[in-house]
Amino acid sequence: MVRGRALEDCLGEGTAEAEPAEIVAPQCSRVARARQGPARRGRTGAARPDPVRHAVVEETERRGAAPAVVLRPLVDGLVRRISRAAAGLLHRAGGMYTSCIFLLSPAFAGGKRGQLVLRDGASFPLARRLRKPGGAPLGDVFSFLSGLYFRGKMAYVRRFAVPPRPGLPGALVITPTRGLVTPESRIGVEELREFAAGAVELTNPGYRNPLETHARALAEACPDTRMVLLGSIASGKYVDVLAGIFGERLVFPRDFVGRGDMSRGGLMLRAAESGEELEYLPVLGARRHGARPPRLEPRRWKNRKRTGEESAGEQGG
């Protein structure tokens, strides 16, 4: 049995939700102030002094520090915070989304890496954890199975997820047989074998029915939350189920179109590292296929430590 919070338990937890105005107003005011710029101009065209900047300059001068040197990191940090807040707002007719839950497509458990971790003689750390009573986190297992692609997803959601309220997850993984499961949920060998045998096909009720049930519950519990699909929209195995339930709230990264799994993984790792969230488009009406974009520039890794799981994964293909 999958050990962890079931989606139904997550939806029943948390404190009472704030009124929409309480959620939207603070972030809207911060973004509005950012758009106005550091100094607003009056009717005469003269720049009005910014009291906040003036106070900071006075304080830094009082302490004997050079204002330009001290202000630069402060302003840069403020800009980054405002940019992240602005990226969390997705405008729509009649309002905006201030929260975000990521829906991660599953890793394939029936491939070479799955066979490697499931074989009886497997002794690398992840294989041993799967066989212990506590199992291993689903996110760790799928990161091993999928490599760069799923590791990119996990890094991305840790950086940018904005759950609608405490107790709700910032990310949910689409599974072949269990619907939507949190990445922290722990699984064992039997669950992984179940995933390996399950077909992610719309004609398979063992896949489709749990996913539809969980997606409907999520849509009802989080009506003002956008759902970001980190997975392929080229086929209908995810989109044909989720788009009919979430409608215009279901979005995907625009730069995913035309890219393969490895390129998407690299793209998300870079975004998580830089703090610049990818641009999203609604799935409904989107172009699902496109020309392959230019390859990402290679990253230079310094002092990178190879884990036992990575080494084992490379041996398994």
In a domain, 78, yes or no: no
d(CA 175, CA 222): 21
Phi, psi of 50 (to 5 degrees): -85, 115
d(CA 57, CA 55): 5
- 8 Å CB contact between 106 and 174: yes
Query: What is the structure's pLDDT at 296?
Result: 62
**Residue 36: pLDDT band with limits 50, 70, 90:** very low
pLDDT, tens digit, for every residue of 41-78?
Answer: 444 444 445 454 555 455 555 555 544 554 455 545 54
Q: Is 165 exposed, middle or buried (0-12, 13-18, 19+ CB in 10 A)?
A: middle
In a domain, 134, yes or no: yes
CA atoms within 13 A on the CB side of 129: 14
- 8 Å CB contact between 207 and 201: yes
What 3-state DSSP class applies to 221?
A: helix
CA atoms within 13 A on the CB side of 49: 8
Residue type at position 251: V
- 8 Å CB contact between 70 and 80: no
| Stretch among 27-41, 132-146, 286-300 having the lowest mean pLDDT | 27-41
Exposed e or buried b per residue across 280-293, where buried means at least 16 C-beta atoms within 10 angstroms of its C-beta: bbbbeeeeeeeeee
Which among 3-17, 205-219, 282-296 has the top mean pLDDT? 205-219
Query: What is the structure's pLDDT at 39?
Result: 43
In a domain, 262, yes or no: yes
pLDDT, tens digit, for every residue of 87-144?
Answer: 444 433 334 567 899 999 999 999 999 999 999 889 999 999 999 999 999 999 999 9
pLDDT, tens digit, for every residue of 227-239?
Answer: 999 998 888 899 9
In a domain, 287, yes or no: yes
Tell me the DSSP string of 255-315: GGTT--HHHHHHHHHHHHHHT-PPPEEESTT-----PPPPPPPPP--SSPPPPHHHHHHHH
Percent over 70 (pLDDT), the chain: 60
pLDDT at 224 over 80: yes
Radius of gyration of the chain (CA): 23
In a domain, 250, yes or no: yes
d(CA 144, CA 278): 24
Provide the domain count of the chain. Answer: 1
pLDDT at 15 over 60: no
In a domain, 58, yes or no: no
In a domain, 308, yes or no: yes
In a domain, 195, yes or no: yes
pLDDT at 193 over 90: yes
Q: Which domain holds residue 267?
A: 7-12+96-315
Beta bridge partners of 3: 186
